[in-house]
Amino acid sequence: MADWIKFMGTAGARFVVSKQLRSSAGTWCNMQGQNILIDPGPGTLSRCFSVRPKLNPEHIDAIILTHRHLDHSTDINVMIEAMTRGTFEPRGALFVPSDAIEAGNEPVVFRHTRNSMERLELLQIGKEFTIGPVRFTTPVLHRHPVETYGLVFDLPEGRVSFITDTAYFPELIEHYRDSDILIINVVFYEIPAVRQIQHLDLSGAKKLVQGIRPRLMVMTHFGLNMLHHKPYLLAQQLAEETGIPVKAATDGMILVLDEILNG
């Protein structure tokens, strides 16, 4: 089957997570035959077995953590244990920001799971990483309270980028240019100008879409206010305003890259 991305969960921010108004499980990508799990938040392991078809954590080849916040990292140790069959079969790769494992910084990846993988790499600005034939980069440090990166995958079908948690800043447009599919964590509906919240709201996301002009934009990682305004309606509105197709992710939604980019 062609490359695909499955949004196991689409919750962002703590109330949507703690009330589980949306699932907070991570995003599972199947790219070039590699199973790549991004940001295994709370409930990722159990979600693997409740989605249809089931996803087998023993088949994961790599886990990428964009930053250490709980809604992204809670299930990381249990997913590493599952990937390495209880840490007894060293395999797979882990990519994390350095502050996720620093001693003295309350590491979110425990030592016993850290040593069970074939490879552990620290995310760095502008560096290129590989997972089998898949290449990705982390072009810029995001503006967020902890060390946070977005991801750019260059695949045969096109460029797929994840703009994860960050405040808006204009340089993001240059760093994520030429994205064919742009997946953005739109946590807030509207951030009042006086509040220093390091997240994107709908107007920030709109500026990114207008600047980058992808072939498809996907919104995910919703906070409470986004849910109240109904993400699918906001997606329609954003598509009309920008002339670019926009989808609001739902729990379990799959994007088949070939269908979107070559269909």
Residues of the shown chain interacting with Zn ion in the complex, contacts defined by CB under 5 A: 12, 69, 71, 165
* Calpha distance 55→58 (Å, rounded): 9
Residues in the chain: 263
Closer residue to Zn ion (CB): 7 or 155: 7
Closer residue to Zn ion (CB): 35 or 148: 148
Closer residue to Zn ion (CB): 71 or 75: 71
Number of helices (H), then strands (E), belonging to the chain: the values are 10, 15
Q: Which residues, other chains included, contact 230 with Cβ-Cβ below 8 Å and sequence gap of 6+?
A: none
Closer residue to Zn ion (CB): 129 or 188: 188
**Dihedral sign of CA atoms 142, 215, 225, 11 in order:** negative
Q: Which residues, other chains included, contact 102 with Cβ-Cβ below 8 Å and sequence gap of 6+?
A: none
152: which 2 tokens?
Answer: 């750019």
Q: How far is the CB of 144 from Zn ion (least distance, A)?
A: 5
Q: How far is the CB of 83 from Zn ion (least distance, A)?
A: 22
Q: Which residues, other chains included, contact 132 with Cβ-Cβ below 8 Å and sequence gap of 6+?
A: 32, 33, 34, 61
Q: How far is the CB of 142 from Zn ion (least distance, A)?
A: 9
Closer residue to Zn ion (CB): 200 or 244: 200
Closer residue to Zn ion (CB): 145 or 211: 145
Q: Which residues, other chains included, contact 188 with Cβ-Cβ below 8 Å and sequence gap of 6+?
A: 13, 197, 199, 200, 201, 202, 223, 225, 226
Q: How far is the CB of 179 from Zn ion (least distance, A)?
A: 20
DSSP 180: S
**Residue 256, helix vs strand vs coil:** strand
Q: How far is the CB of 201 from Zn ion (least distance, A)?
A: 14
* Calpha distance 125→141 (Å, rounded): 6
Q: How far is the CB of 243 from Zn ion (least distance, A)?
A: 29
Phi and psi based region of residue 74 (left: phi greater than 0; alpha: psi -120 to 50; beta: remaining)? alpha
Q: How far is the CB of 158 from Zn ion (least distance, A)?
A: 26
Closer residue to Zn ion (CB): 69 or 159: 69
Closer residue to Zn ion (CB): 69 or 247: 69
Q: How far is the CB of 89 from Zn ion (least distance, A)?
A: 31
